[in-house]
Structure 1
Amino acid sequence: MNLVNIAMSGLNANRVGLEVTAQNVANVNTPGYSRQQAIMASVGGSKHNAFEAGMGVEVTSIRRVTDGFLVKQLWSTSSTAAYAARYTTNMSHLENTLGADGFSLSAGLDSVFAALNDATTKPESQPLRQQIINEAEAISRRFNALNDAMHNQHKDMHDQRTAAVSHTNSLLSNIAAVNQQITEMQGAGGNPAQLMDTRDMLIGELSKVMEVKTTDQADGTVQVTLASGQPLVMGGDYGQLKAIPDPDDAYMATLNVEFGHQSFAIKGSVGGELGALNDYQNDVLKPNQLAINDMAKALAEEFNTVLATGKDLNGNDGKPLFTYDPSNPAASLTITDIKAEELAFSSDGTPGNSDVLKNLIDISTKPVAISGFGNLSLNDAFTAMVGETAIKARQSEADFEAKAAMNKQALAQRDNLSAVSKDEEAGNLMMFANAHNANMKVISTANDLFQSVLQLF
């Protein structure tokens, strides 16, 4: 009987609808899960029977509810938010370093020149002279400590890049593997929805590390490239990201993509966390390290040059106060073995004469060449560095807040479409259950009719 066949088709279709709904409810808290829908279509009747309503219903497919545009928008905003988060963290760390009392070159310079000013009252005083040497040693240690702090952050950037590159290569391998599984499942007639969710999650993780672009392929795979076009994943094949160390600085590196037997150089920022690391190192940290070295070198040379023009309390030519390694002035700056009586404060050796001492004090306002800041005094140069860092830190923090809000909005838009709604699924459960029961009732009615017909005989 057609009545039974029609009811059976409805029974089966609504059973599938119940199973899909159950799957959605089961994954209501699963991150990245895209809800599914059973797509149903009416089965037409015979073309030779005008009085046949149809042959029931069938499930033509199970649809994964998603929107490629919203997903790509989520990946894009994840990349910019991750870049901003990493960049502002690094800027905040540098700002805290430069603002710490123990690293303040301004405070150290003020103490040195204050000691020099105190000595003008009695230039031949041994205690006042010794205080100058003590403060000179203290400012040297400040330069050493600040250099070490910046060097440690520089090394930390290298370590973070190494970890990010390793994580990227793992993600590329996994994305390619899922691509292959999707192709095989679709070829076998299966439902690859869960695999597609997994792939979306992996690409989402990759987008946090670096900015990527994707292109859907006819076989169900996704092609992944860098924003600049270098290939990362092609079907089941994938490349590997390589960090090539800078020959002049082991903690700096350029990035390449090796795909098969080809190597592609990456020009410019790659975006994401990796882009933030590279940009911060190149645009902020390295220039500041260079400026700190210039300050240390200028301090030593200016003091030593002025002292060389005078004579000490014994009438001998002036000796240098500072010494350093020209290859790394800030790290190596220290004082010589000079003694208090050997400080050459007088041009003629007269104990009460302090003309050279006054020239040393004038160094506090003398402009010197500092990379990235021009010609200005040592104190002004460090103050400018602190101020510029504070401004950049505030700007990067504001940028992070804006980018994080955009990412949150993109996630909400994706979830509004694809995430499971408990209220909606509860309605679906009732609808499919009622339809299932109604079809059971149709079968029961058909059976009653059949039994009634049999009783006629």
Structure 2
Amino acid sequence: MNLVNIGLSGLNANRVALDVTAQNVSNVNTPGYTRQQAMMATVGGVKDNNLDPGAGVEVTNIRRVTDQFLVKQMWSTNSNASYASHYTTNMSQMENTLGADGFSISSGLDSLYAALHDATSKPESIPLRQQIRNEAEAISRRFNTLNQALYSQHKDMHDQRNAAVANANTLLVNIADINKQIAESSGTGGNPAQLLDKRDELINQLSELIEIKTSDQHDGTTQVTLVSGQPLVIGGEYGTIRAVPRDDDSYLAQMEVDFDKQTFAVTSALGGSLGAINDYQNEVLKPYMVALDDMAAGLADMFNGELAKGIDLNGQPGQALFRYDPEHPASSLDITTITPEQLALSGDGNPGNSDVLANLIRLSNRPVSVGRFGNVSINDAFTAIVGETAIKGRQAESDYQAKTAMSEQAVAARDNIAAVNSDEEASNLMTFSNAHNANMKVISTANNLFDTVLQLF
């Protein structure tokens, strides 16, 4: 009987719909899950019979409810938020470092020049001369410890980049593998919804590390490239991201992508956490380390130059107070074995004459060449570094707040379409349950009619 067949089609279709709804409800808290929907269509009847109402209903496919535009927006804003988060964290660490009393070059200079001022009252005084030597050693230690702090952060950035690159390469392998599985599933008529969710989640994780572009292909695979165009994943093939140490500094890196026996240099911004690491090292950390070296060398050269013009208490020519390795001035800055008596504070050897001492005091305002800060006094250079860090830190924090808000909005927009709504699924359960039971009634009615007909004979 056609009535039975129609009832059975409705029974089967609504059972599939209930299964889909149950799958949605069970994954309501699964990260990255995209809700599904059973798509139904009527089954046509006999073409040449105008009294045939049709042959029931069928589930044509199970639709994955998503909007790829919103998904790609989520990936893009995720990259920006990740970049801002890492850059802000690094700037905050720099600000805390420069703000620590033990790392303040300005405080060390103030103490050194204060000791020089004190010595003007009695230039021949051994205790006052010893104080000059002590403060010179103290400022050397400040340069050493601050340089070590910056160097440690520099190495940490290097380690973080290597870890991020390794993570990104693992994700590329997994995305390519999922691409293969999706192509196979689509080719055999399977439902690749779970694979698509898994791939979207992997790409989302990749977008935290680097900014990417994606392109959906006809076979269901997704092509992944850097924003600048270098290929990362094409179908089941994947590339390898490499951080090649630079010749001038092994903790800095030139980024490259190896794909299909070709090597592509990455010269543009990477975005994501990797981009934040590279930009912070090149724009902030390394320039500050160079500036610190220039300040250390400048201080030593100025003091040694003035002392060389004087005569010490023993009547001997002036000796150097500071020494350093020209390759690494800030980390190696130290005082020589000079004694208080050997400080040549007089230009003519007269213990009461302090003309060289006066010249040393005037060095506080003498400009030296300090990296990108130009010709400025050492104190002004350090003040400029601290001030620039504070400004960059505020800008980074503001950018972080804005980018995080945009990322949250993008996630909310995606979830509004694709995430499971418990209330909606509860309503669907009732709807499909009622439809399922109604079709059972149809089948029961058909059986009753059939039994009635049999009783006529």
Match of 1:438 in 2: 438
Answer yes or no: is 1:448 the counterpart of 2:448.
yes
Answer with 137-146 or 46-55: which moved more: 46-55
Report the CA distance between 1:280 and its aligned residue: 0.7
Match of 1:255 in 2: 255
Alpha-carbon distance in 2 for matches of 1:231, 1:380: 47
Cα deviation, 1:147-204, whole Å, max 9, x if unaligned, reads 1011111111110110011001000000000000011111121100000000000000
Task: Give the secondary structure class of the aligned counterpart of 1:311.
Answer: coil
Task: Give the secondary structure class of the aligned counterpart of 1:145.
Answer: helix
Alpha-carbon distance in 1 for matches of 2:267, 2:232: 15
Scaled by the length of structure 2, what TM-score is found? 0.99
Alpha-carbon distance in 1 for matches of 2:441, 2:344: 112
Alpha-carbon distance in 2 for matches of 1:265, 1:384: 35
How many correspondences in the alignment? 457
Match of 2:344 in 1: 344
Task: Give percent identity, aligned residues only.
Answer: 67
- Gap regions ≥5 residues in structure 1: none
Match of 1:73 in 2: 73
Alpha-carbon distance in 1 for matches of 2:77, 2:411: 9
Cα deviation, 1:37-93, whole Å, max 9, x if unaligned, reads 000001111111101111100000000000010000000000000011111111111
Task: Give the secondary structure class of the aligned counterpart of 2:229.
Answer: coil
Report the CA distance between 1:369 and its aligned residue: 1.5
Alpha-carbon distance in 1 for matches of 2:384, 2:266: 33
Amino acid at match of 1:172: L
Alpha-carbon distance in 1 for matches of 2:298, 2:215: 55
Report the CA distance between 1:329 and its aligned residue: 0.3
Alpha-carbon distance in 1 for matches of 2:114, 2:71: 62
Answer with 240-249 or 289-298: which moved more: 240-249
Alpha-carbon distance in 2 for matches of 1:99, 1:223: 46
Match of 1:82 in 2: 82
Match of 2:417 in 1: 417
Cα deviation, 1:300-357, whole Å, max 9, x if unaligned, reads 0000001111111111111110000000100000000000011111101111111110
Answer yes or no: is 1:9 the counterpart of 2:9.
yes
Report the CA distance between 1:247 and its aligned residue: 1.3
Alpha-carbon distance in 1 for matches of 2:314, 2:226: 70
Alpha-carbon distance in 1 for matches of 2:368, 2:172: 50
Alpha-carbon distance in 1 for matches of 2:224, 2:288: 36
Task: Give the secondary structure class of the aligned counterpart of 2:32.
Answer: coil
Task: Give the secondary structure class of the aligned counterpart of 2:313.
Answer: coil
Task: Give the secondary structure class of the aligned counterpart of 2:337.
Answer: coil
Alpha-carbon distance in 2 for matches of 1:314, 1:424: 95
Answer with 262-271 or 196-205: which moved more: 262-271
Amino acid at match of 1:85: S
Alpha-carbon distance in 2 for matches of 1:323, 1:221: 63
Task: Give the secondary structure class of the aligned counterpart of 1:270.
Answer: coil
Alpha-carbon distance in 2 for matches of 1:305, 1:267: 43
Alpha-carbon distance in 2 for matches of 1:453, 1:107: 107
Match of 2:236 in 1: 236
Scaled by the length of structure 1, what TM-score is found? 0.99
Match of 1:215 in 2: 215
Alpha-carbon distance in 1 for matches of 2:103, 2:96: 10
State the superposition RMSD in angstroms: 0.6
Alpha-carbon distance in 2 for matches of 1:313, 1:61: 98
Report the CA distance between 1:238 and its aligned residue: 0.3
Alpha-carbon distance in 1 for matches of 2:245, 2:374: 30
Alpha-carbon distance in 1 for matches of 2:245, 2:49: 78
Aligned ranges 1:36-185 → 2 under 5 Å: 36-185=36-185
Answer with 365-374 or 84-93: which moved more: 365-374
Alpha-carbon distance in 2 for matches of 1:451, 1:69: 57
Alpha-carbon distance in 1 for matches of 2:378, 2:257: 43
Cα deviation, 1:340-391, whole Å, max 9, x if unaligned, reads 0111111011111111101000011112211111111111110110000110
Task: Give the secondary structure class of the aligned counterpart of 2:33.
Answer: coil
Alpha-carbon distance in 1 for matches of 2:264, 2:310: 60
Report the CA distance between 1:416 and its aligned residue: 0.5
Alpha-carbon distance in 2 for matches of 1:129, 1:256: 56
Amino acid at match of 2:438: A
Amino acid at match of 2:307: L
Alpha-carbon distance in 2 for matches of 1:371, 1:115: 28
Amino acid at match of 2:91: M
Alpha-carbon distance in 2 for matches of 1:171, 1:189: 27
Answer yes or no: is 1:304 the counterpart of 2:308.
no
Alpha-carbon distance in 1 for matches of 2:133, 2:221: 70
Runs (4+) of structure 1 exceeding 6 A deviation are none
Match of 2:401 in 1: 401
Answer with 306-315 or 419-428: which moved more: 306-315
Alpha-carbon distance in 2 for matches of 1:329, 1:268: 32
Report the CA distance between 1:269 and its aligned residue: 1.1
Alpha-carbon distance in 2 for matches of 1:239, 1:369: 44
Amino acid at match of 2:10: G
Amino acid at match of 1:347: G
Alpha-carbon distance in 2 for matches of 1:295, 1:137: 15
Task: Give the secondary structure class of the aligned counterpart of 1:400.
Answer: helix
